[in-house]
Structure 1
Amino acid sequence: MSRFEGKVALVTGGSSGMGGATAAVLAEGGARVFCAQRGASAHEDIAADFSDESVPERVMAEVSDKAGALDILVNNAGMMREGTVEETSKADWDIQLHMNLTVPFLLIRHGMGMLRAGGGAIVNLGSVEGLGSNPRHPAYAASKAGLHGLTRAVAVDHGKDGVRCNAVAPGWIDTPLNEAFIESMTDPVAFRAGLAGIHPVRRTGTPEDVARLICWLASEEAGFVTGQVWTVDGGRMAQLSLP
């Protein structure tokens, strides 16, 4: 039997990138996969504009109506806007905190009944920026640090219910957004080589690198693992910068 046979999974932002790769691995393992986002995925889609705070409850109601269960929740959808604290408007702050922290909270809250019933697993997409920060990312870094804290709190409160909650903290991953950023550089080849050089493994990450870790955390193989933030960054955070 495949390790996710008979399981129902919900992945937010599952149309591409890390969410798409995660949905694919879950489906290959036998899970019935729902993906919630504005666009289309290769799985069962639930149309969702998470900027509307009523949407998380509706998404969970739709999963319940269609599948009657939820075993795995992957909170992948998020966003980032740049600017120092002086440059960041209250609206920009609010939308990033909403998308990256409040939406996962609401999905967990409205899905907890189904997750508790099946002894479910939650995996939140944090970031190395929940541990450090790149320049001009105050709202993003704050939201991801908050998501790491939410992960631990849910694990503590709901371990007795059979629900595990972990987070992954990806570093530089070759998502469509990051690839577009590289191609916007004056010398994309040199920029890409520079990125590889700040990683001890001498490459950047792929969505599949992150997806495999997420799916392990969601599986019964990680049944004694909860409340942890797993860094997947090719060793970048372990390496001190040269003077």
Structure 2
Amino acid sequence: MKRFENKVALVTGGRSGIGRAIARRLRDEGAQVFTAQRGNDSEFDAIPVDFLDPASPAQVVSQLIAKVGQLDVLVNNAGMMQEARVEDMSAADWHQTLTVNLTAPFLMIQAALPHLRETRGNIVNTGSIEGLGSNPGHAAYCASKAGLHGLTRAVAVDHGGEGIRCNAVAPGWIDTDLNVDFIDAMPDPGAFRRDIGKIHPVARTGTPEEVAALVAFLAAEESGFITGQIYSVDGGRMAKLSLP
């Protein structure tokens, strides 16, 4: 029997990148998968949504329940990044990043909890190593991901007694289409790949499928004694000290 047979999973931002890999992994292991993001999804049942609208998370969950009647796994993966230092970022841009990356997952969890309580379901949030450290010019993104890590722990503490677990993955440099395009636009993509490989003890960047494998494990029953944890998926990058 597959780990997610007869289970329903909802993956926000599941149309591309890490979200797409997560949706495929859960589907391949038996789940009925829905994705939620702007626009249609040619591969999965999709619920179009704009996460800047605070009413949209509850609408997404209600539409899913109306279609299939249950929810077993919620993966909050949708996110955005705007590059700016604190003094250069407008309040509007700050609120936009926090709304998509932190408030939307909060509202998704809030709407999903009654249904996850019925199925003793699981939540996995996509955080970031930038919730643990920071790259330059990522003030709002770092704040939002650190907040999501804190929310993960709070949900685990408040709802563990109801059979609901909540964990997060914190990816590092992952070869999504966006990152691959970024590298390919460099004057010397090969040199950039070699240089970025050097900051990782495993000497390479990661794949969306490697993140998806951890998400599937955390959402599965075999990890039933794991909750409130933030797992870095970064090839050892955060463990490696810079040279003096």
Query: How far did 1:103 drift?
Result: 0.3
Structural RMSD (CA): 0.7
Deviations 1:167-188 (CA, angstroms, capped at 9, x unpaired): 0000000011111211221211
The SS at the match of 1:74 is strand
Which amino acid in the other structure matches residue 102 of structure 1?
T
Please tell me the residue identity of whatever aligns with 2:195.
Answer: G
Secondary structure, counterpart of 2:87 in structure 1? coil
- Asked if residue 223 in structure 1 is aligned to residue 224 in structure 2, the reply is yes
Identity of aligned residues (%): 63
How high is the TM-score relative to the length of structure 2?
Answer: 0.98
Rounded to whole Å, the distance in 2 between the matches of 1:41 and 1:155 is 34
Task: In structure 2, give the amino acid aligned to 1:87.
Answer: D
Task: Establish whether residue 136 from structure 1 lines up as the match of residue 116 from structure 2.
Answer: no
Instruction: Tell me, in whole angstroms, the C-alpha distance in 2 between the residues paired with 1:15 and 1:219.
Output: 22
Structure 1, unmatched stretches of 5+, are none
The aligned amino acid for 1:81 is Q
Runs of 4+ off more than 2 Å: none
Is this contact kept in 2: 1:16–1:41, CA < 8 A?
no
**1:102-156 alpha-carbon deviations (Å, 9 max, x no partner):** 0000000001000010000000000000000000011000000000000000000
SS in structure 2 of the partner of residue 86 of structure 1? helix
Amino acid in the other structure paired with 2:230: V
Looking at structure 1, the residues matched to 125 and 230 of structure 2 have their Cα atoms a distance apart, in angstroms, of: 9
Distance 2:162 2:203 in 1: 42
Deviates more, 1:178-187 or 1:230-239: 178-187
Give the corresponding residue for 2:168.
167
Distance change in 2, residues 1:227/1:41 (3 Å): farther
Q: Which runs of 5+ in 2 are unaligned?
A: none
Equivalent positions of 1:1-243 (< 5 A) are: 1-39=1-39, 40-243=41-244
Say which SS state the counterpart of residue 5 (structure 1) adopts: coil
> Across the two proteins, how many residue pairs are aligned to each other?
243
Deviation at 1:41, TM superposition (A): 4.4
Q: TM-score, normalised by structure 1?
A: 0.99
Cα deviation, 1:215-242, whole Å, max 9, x if unaligned, reads 0000001011000000110000000011
Residue 42 (structure 1) shift: 1.1
SS at match of 2:103: helix
